[in-house]
Amino acid sequence: MTTVSRLKIGLSACFSHADPTRSFFTGKTLQYVEQSIAHWIMSSGAMVVMVPCPTGSTQRGDVTYAHYAEWLDGLVLHGGADLWPGSYGEAPIEEKWSGDRVRDDYDKALVSAFEAVGKPIFGVCRGLQLLNVAFGGTLYQDINTQVPNTFLHRDALTYDQNFHSVNIVPGTRLSELYPGVERVRVNSIHHQGIKDLSPEFEAEAFSVDDGIVEAIRRKDPHKSYMAATQWHPEFHKPGSGTIDDGALLQDFLTAVAAAKNQSKA
For each of the domains in the chain, give its residue range(s) and CATH number, in order of start.
8-264 (3.40.50.880)
pLDDT of amino acid 153: 82
Q: Determine the pLDDT at residue 262.
A: 87
Nearest CA-CA partner of 181 in 162, 197, 167, 163:
167
What pairs with residue 10 in β-bridges? 49, 75
At residue 4, the pLDDT reads: 57
pLDDT number for residue 239? 79
Mean pLDDT of 70-99: 96
- Annotated catalytic sites, by residue? 125, 232, 234
pLDDT in tens, 3-33: 657 999 999 999 999 998 988 999 888 999 9
- Which residues make beta-bridge pairs with 49? 10
Give the H/E segment covering residue 264. Answer: helix 246-264
CA torsion angle 109 110 112 118 (round to 10): 170
- Quick one: which of 124, 7, 9 has its CA closest to 69? 9
- What does the alpha-carbon distance between residue 67 and residue 197 come to, in Å, rounded to a whole number? 31
The whole-angstrom separation of Cα 86 and Cα 71 is: 32
Q: Are 85 and 98 in contact (CB under 8 A)?
A: yes
**Residue 156 φ then ψ, to 5°:** -65, -25
Instruction: pLDDT band for 156, please (50, 70, 90 cuts).
Output: confident
Question: 207 — phi, psi (to 5°)?
Answer: -60, 135
* DSSP codes, 140-198: ES-HHHHSTT---S--TTTGGG-EEEEEEPTTSHHHHHSTT--EEEEE---S-EESS--
Q: For residue 206, what is the DSSP state?
A: E
pLDDT tens digits for range 191-239: 999 999 999 999 999 999 899 999 999 999 999 999 999 999 998 988 7
Pairing type for strands 47-51 and 8-12 reads parallel
Q: To which H or E segment does residue 213 belong?
A: strand 213-218
d(CA 60, CA 68): 15
